[in-house]
Amino acid sequence: MEKVKLNNGLAMPILGLGVFQIPDAAACEKAVIDAIEIGYRLIDTAASYQNERAVGHAIKKSGVEREDLFITSKVWVQDIGYEKTKAAFQQSLDKLQLDYLDLYLIHQPYGDIFGSWKAMQELYHEGKIKAIGVANFHPDRLMDLIANSGFTPVINQIETHPFYQQFETQKFLDENKVQIQSWGPFAEGKHDIFKHEILSAIGHKYNKSVAQVILRWLIQRGVVAIPKSIRKERMAENFKIFDFQLSTDDMQHIGTLDTNSSSFFDHRDPAMVKWLSEYKVDL
Residues annotated as part of the active site = 49
Is 89:47 a contact under the CB 8 Å cutoff? no
Using left for φ > 0, alpha for ψ between -120 and 50, and beta otherwise, residue 121 falls in: alpha
The phi and psi torsions of 31 (rounded to 5 degrees) equal -60, -45
Beta strands in 89-186 (DSSP E): 103-106, 132-135, 155-159, 179-183
**CB proximity list for 276: less than 8 A, separation 6 or greater:** 77, 108, 110, 267
Is 250:202 a contact under the CB 8 Å cutoff? yes
Q: Please name which of 283, 282, 264, 266 lies closest in space to residue 274, comparing C-alpha atoms.
A: 266
Question: Which residues lie across from 224 on neighbouring strands?
Answer: 181
Exposure of 3 by Cβ count < 10 A (0-12 exposed, 13-18 middle, 19+ buried)? middle
Is 17:31 a contact under the CB 8 Å cutoff? yes
